[in-house]
Amino acid sequence: GAVVSQHPSWVICKSGTSVKIECRSLDFQATTMFWYRQFPKQSLMLMATSNEGSKATYEQGVEKDKFLINHASLTLSTLTVTSAHPEDSSFYICSAPIWDSGPHYGYTFGSGTRLTVV
């Protein structure tokens, strides 16, 4: 089935540094990738939507200069957390829409990245 590979699975970084998270669609082309953030014991909150070849669209309250999203190809989308601070520590997950042989679709998720900023 359609798989999204997300790396790294966890990362620890110092305050003020930047961290890049990658999501690759392994056996399908992802023209769209959704990026979520999940705090402990909370639900997934959509941060932004990336589209191949165009600018990402951000949800209200998400700083686009802090969370840089690049969707350079049909199989790769990246999220860079710039000048990270402890409050950015969270679980970040990407997701891509997928279709079956008919009109039905779903969303497949990456395995997530646990970011800890110290």
Partner 1 sequence: GQQLNQSPQSMFIQEGEDVSMNCTSSSIFNTWLWYKQEPGEGPVLLIALYKAGELTSNGRLTAQFGITRKDSFLNISASIPSDVGIYFCAGHDGNTGKLIFGQGTTLQVKP
The residues of the shown chain that bind partner 1, judged by CB under 8 A, are 6, 9, 32, 34, 41-46, 49, 91, 93, 95, 97, 104-112, 114
Rounded distance between C-alpha atoms, residue 118 and residue 116, angstroms: 6
State which residue, 16 or 106, has the beta carbon closest to partner 1: 106
Rounded distance between C-alpha atoms, residue 118 and residue 109, angstroms: 27
Rounded distance between C-alpha atoms, residue 61 and residue 99, angstroms: 30
Nearest approach, Cβ of residue 99 and partner 1 (Å): 12
Nearest approach, Cβ of residue 36 and partner 1 (Å): 8
Strand partners, 92: 37, 113
State which residue, 45 or 74, has the beta carbon closest to partner 1: 45
Q: Length of the chain in residues, anyone?
A: 118
State which residue, 60 or 65, has the beta carbon closest to partner 1: 60
Nearest approach, Cβ of residue 63 and partner 1 (Å): 19
CA distances to 40, 71, 76, 86, 94 from 45, in Å: 12, 20, 21, 18, 11
Strand partners, 22: 7, 78
State which residue, 15 or 42, has the beta carbon closest to partner 1: 42
Nearest approach, Cβ of residue 71 and partner 1 (Å): 15
